[in-house]
A = this chain, B = another copy of it.
Amino acid sequence: MSKVKPALLRGFDQEYLPREQLQFNALVDLIRRNFELFGFLPLETPSAERKEVLTSKGGIEKEIYGLRRLADDPDDEAATKGAMRFDLTVPLARFVAMHERELAFPFRRYQIQRVWRGETPQARKGRFREFYQCDIDIIGRERLGYLAEAEIPGVIYRVFREMGIGEFLIRINNRKVLRGVLQNFGVHESKSSAVLRLLDKTEKEDAAHTRKALGQEGLSAKDADRLYDLIAGKRGTQATFAALTEMAPNDTLRQGMEEARKIVAAMRDFGVPESAFAFDLGVVRGLDYYTGTIYETSLVNSPEVGSICSGGRYDDLAGYFTDTRLPGVGISIGLTRLFSRLSEAGLLKAPRRTPAEVLVTTMEDQPMSAYLELGRALREAGINTEVYLEPAKLRKQFEYAERKGFRVALIVGGDEAARGAVKIKDLAARTETSCARGDLLRSVANMLQLPVA
């Protein structure tokens, strides 16, 4: 028979072998547990939404995947009127507008799902056309106080601390402060978006290039230099505040500074230590959407990994769908990319538990029912256990155990059966002990560092 080549599609090719999938799932569990610890409620939305919903906020048509039936069906609404989501914010906006009356506000939701984007994939950089995002947002109805902006870094701090991926820095800035600074430099409102886009790239672009481009937006050479140094200079929180205080104040700047100081103080109350954050004017974020605090997070010792999490405060989530004003703040972890970069940087730990904890090896001259009973007893104690179903040479069974990554193997041959004992092999340490059948659960749980059931 002629064969079909088993292969994947470009950009839809991030697939893990079981060991990696376990690591990935452990990250998802960790993120989810921490999101729930702060009272965020889970949401999952359908993969496809109405086109007019997806494009309402200005989704870019050429990057959106639509659906079609392989054999056309004009009655299929998803195929004729739908497309796949490209982020989790637009579906959230649609969801909140649809269920405004059923939700309790402030509405705190988390969402961990795949999104699809027709961008150029770069597997090496962890960029795919299908990837996971993990989002949290806090949405107020009509109003939302500044404390929500301080809580978000509190959540993120706990997530990355528990991940144990080394030192990280939550960099925050404030859009009002940025606007105040631009006013101060005489940048006209109509030019401010363009200037912010230039300032967003100071970490990637050559300084001379940016200064020149600022000049083209109307700044004098001296002002362009001063603005560039203010934004791109790394100072730390206190020095940045001091630099801003020295500037001639205007209302926007004053208001932004006041907000920023309060939020920074509250972040400490939310448990973010001084060493883990910085107020940094270089965090700009391109989107006009943001109006208050904006966030970027990066790894101190692995800057090549890039931003691992970003977001910000916005004034109105769902203006395209409802007249109710829904101010909010949110942040997103691009998990597929993060996983791939952490994996490359060697920063991923083995998950604490795996389905391959105990392998009960089997021998032909012993009754299978005794092995199966052993397996059941271990499972009832919450220990993940597989019974090797086809009695074979022990060497073959150990080979299987090694490949699959089992931690413990149990052996009951004629000798052990006669003595009511079980031989326990620690597959990592390559040591072997023996215990009475009655002590087995405790011994194995100990070896796996599980609470004794």
Contacts and interface: CB of A to CB of B under 8 A. Distances in A.
A395 to B, nearest CB: 14
A157 to B, nearest CB: 11
B67 A67 contact: yes
A223 interface: no
Contacts of A105: 400
Interface stretch (A12-20, A164-172, A193-201, A214-222): A12-20
Interface stretch (A34-42, A204-212, A242-250): A34-42
Contacts of A6: 53, 93-95, 97-98, 318, 321-322
17 contacts: A6-B95, A6-B322, A12-B77, A12-B82, A24-B44, A36-B355, A37-B379, A37-B383, A38-B385, A39-B404, A41-B355, A47-B130, A66-B68, A68-B68, A147-B368, A269-B373, A270-B376
Contacts of A5: 321
A40 B78 CA distance: 34
A256 to B, nearest CB: 20
Contact of A355 (B14, B39, B69): B39
Contacts of A69: 62-66, 118
Given A41-B356, A94-B6, A355-B36, A108 B15 contact: no
Contacts of A104: 400, 403-404
Contact of A15 (B46, B70, B148): B46
Given A21-B42, A36-B353, A66-B70, 4 more contacts: A9-B78, A37-B384, A40-B355, A270-B372
Given A44-B16, A109-B18, A379-B37, A8 B50 contact: yes
B42 A7 contact: no
A427 interface: no
Interface string A368-387: 11001100100100111110
A40 to B, nearest CB: 6
A354 B108 CA distance: 13
Contacts of A114: 47
A98 B68 contact: no
Nearest to A73: B118
Contacts of A84: 67
A43 interface: yes
Copies in the complex: 2
Interface in A152-169: 158
Contacts of A41: 18, 21-22, 355-356, 404
Interface centre among A16, A46, A382 (most CB of B within 10 A): A46
A389 B145 contact: yes
A237 B77 CA distance: 47
A76 interface: yes
A45 interface: yes
Contacts of A81: 9
A396 B26 CA distance: 38
Nearest to A376: B271
Interface centre among A15, A51, A318, A359 (most CB of B within 10 A): A15
Contacts of A321: 3-6
A129 to B, nearest CB: 6
Contacts of A130: 46-48
Contacts of A355: 35-42
Nearest to A138: B389
Nearest to A386: B39
A99 interface: yes
A203 to B, nearest CB: 30
Nearest to A32: B25
A37 B67 CA distance: 38
A71 interface: yes
A151 B62 contact: no
Q: Lowest 5 CB-CB distances: which A-B pairs, in order?
A: A39-B386, A104-B403, A62-B71, A18-B41, A36-B355
